[in-house]
Structure 1
Amino acid sequence: MTATVEAARATTGNAVRPVRFHQVGKAFGTGKKSVVALEGVDLAVETGEFVCLLGASGCGKTTLLNLVAGLDQPTTGRIELGSSRPAVVFQEAALMPWLTAAGNVELPLRLAGVPKAQRRAKAAELLELVRLGGLGDKRPHELSGGMRQRVALARALASTTDNTGSGAGKPSLLLMDEPFSALDAITRDVLQGELLRIWQATGTAILFVTHDVREAVRLGRRVVLLSSRPGRVVREWEVAGLAGAAEAAAVEEINAELRKVISSHAAA
């Protein structure tokens, strides 16, 4: 099977999805030393959807994001990419220390050739969106860990904006790889709420990797569980709008399935 990452095209009456995986597999190395990270992954993310990926360590969650971002290529299968420009938010903010907060947000716009006045206005708008208005002149070392992640989120949102005109009408896609795991519990809780607010305000589709079942159920509209290596889609849950006892029950059920996945891997 030929492995490809290709642009998705709209068919009559159907909107373009930000990303669709068709029997995607990924192996590292060759021969007896090869490691199969992903195998036969079928998954779609709809426009404006918030999907959380769960699974044991080493199941290929980050690998899946890397394939979408173009940081690596699938070994088998096909990825249809309908997003104009996917952006990634990592566990670490990875800001340029010599640039201000505004300068970091402007960077993808600058690389895309956006005129100075336009990119400064967009950076100011995005900093306001992540509640950092008035702090654009601060450098990363002057900001808290939570603030730095907000800047990283604003930069990613800037990156998803197609400013060349070639991506007009394409859905935006944000890839998030455990972005809050290095933060303290209170800051993490605040930023989870802020992310939901920003998602609702922008309509950006999000593919979010986490180890935390509670985080997945709180944030995601859909939760997808991957098996242990090689990663395959084991089960999916629709969790939009759950609260109280229903949310607690979903967390308990998904935790039980995750424990089964981890136990089967340990016994193998």
Structure 2
Amino acid sequence: MTATVEVEQSVVRPVRFHQVGKAFGHGRTAVVALEGVDLDVAAGEFVCLLGASGCGKTTLLNLVAGLDKPTNGRIELSSSRPAVVFQEPALMPWLTAAGNVELPLRMAGVPKAARRAKAAELLELVRLAGLGDKRPHELSGGMRQRVALARALASTDDNTGASAGKPSLLLMDEPFSALDAITRDVLQGELLRIWRATGTAILFVTHDVREAVRLGQRVVLLSSRPGRVVRQWDVDGLTGADEAGAVDEINAALRKVISSHAAA
């Protein structure tokens, strides 16, 4: 029903994994989180990463973000500085919404007038125009996550230094899992709108197969620990029965991965 994507070698890729492995600890007590991961994300592509708990999905994002280093293999990063959106917005409570969005720009040395204009533009993009003076505690959970998204987009779009002119990359680690179903559904739609408007490549971690199929152009399944790429599906533009069929097929593959790990 669905097929693995094969991207032409000439396509620009913000990130490439070459036989990447990651172990925590040493010797017999070492925990191998990832092993032999080969994965590409093309410029502007929306890739969803699926797998059982503990399979290394978040570890993979941390490696791309530079929060940790691979034990073996290498990561080829050809993007502007990647930004991460976590489950929790992690906003600075003493800063306004606009101040939070401006923060990465200020750290990058962007002049005050330019960063204020950019923050206003991004808040409008996430549909928070006019709320830039609000502090996090004055905003709903969904609004706080929108601010976190705007801040991440600012981080990928500082247009300064070595990052200038490079494709942007956004890393999202289950950003909607802590929200209620209605808010999550709304923000999924908003994320698609923002992705189409900005052309930012997205690597999105989720446990929810339906969310992955709805949002992604490509769904990548990792094995249980140590995480390896088991299979990939092209789900771009699927609707109706085709979308439902892809959800069933991917769910079956995910259950098989989880079952094989439990039986080991």
* TM-score of the pair, normalised by structure 1: 0.94
Give 1:50-129 correspondences, 5 Å limit: 50-129=46-125
Q: Distance in 1 between matches of 2:63 and 2:28?
A: 23
Task: Letter of the 1:51 partner, please give it.
Answer: V
Give 1:1-268 correspondences, 5 Å limit: 14-268=10-264
Alpha-carbon shift at residue 166 of structure 1 (Å): 2.5
Say if 1:19 and 1:44, in contact at 8 Å, map to a contact too. yes
Q: Distance in 1 between matches of 2:57 and 2:124?
A: 31
Task: Letter of the 1:50 partner, please give it.
Answer: F
Q: Find the counterpart in structure 1 of residue 4 from structure 2.
A: none
Alpha-carbon shift at residue 25 of structure 1 (Å): 0.2
Q: Distance in 2 between matches of 1:68 and 1:187?
A: 28
Task: Letter of the 1:250 partner, please give it.
Answer: A
Q: Distance in 1 between matches of 2:170 and 2:246?
A: 25
Q: Distance in 2 between matches of 1:14 and 1:23?
A: 20
Alpha-carbon shift at residue 158 of structure 1 (Å): 0.1
Q: Distance in 2 between matches of 1:168 and 1:16?
A: 15
Alpha-carbon shift at residue 167 of structure 1 (Å): 2.2
Say if 1:16 and 1:170, in contact at 8 Å, map to a contact too. no
Task: Letter of the 2:30 partner, please give it.
Answer: S
Q: Distance in 1 between matches of 2:96 and 2:256?
A: 46
Q: Distance in 2 between matches of 1:211 and 1:15?
A: 28
Say if 2:217 and 2:236, in contact at 8 Å, map to a contact too. yes
Describe the SS at the equivalent of 2:162.
coil
Q: Distance in 2 between matches of 1:28 and 1:48?
A: 32
Task: Letter of the 1:57 partner, please give it.
Answer: S
Say if 1:85 and 1:173, in contact at 8 Å, map to a contact too. yes
Q: Distance in 2 between matches of 1:155 and 1:22?
A: 29
TM-superposition CA deviations, 1:69-105 (whole Å, max 9, x none): 0000000101000011000000000000000000000
Alpha-carbon shift at residue 239 of structure 1 (Å): 0.1
Unaligned 5+ segments in structure 1 are 1-12
Say if 2:110 and 2:158, in contact at 8 Å, map to a contact too. no
Task: Letter of the 2:16 partner, please give it.
Answer: R
Q: Distance in 2 between matches of 1:126 and 1:264?
A: 44
* TM-score of the pair, normalised by structure 2: 0.96
Say if 1:18 and 1:45, in contact at 8 Å, map to a contact too. yes
Would you say how many aligned residue pairs link Structure 1 and Structure 2?
Answer: 256
Task: Letter of the 1:97 partner, please give it.
Answer: P
Task: Letter of the 1:38 partner, please give it.
Answer: L
Alpha-carbon shift at residue 14 of structure 1 (Å): 3.6
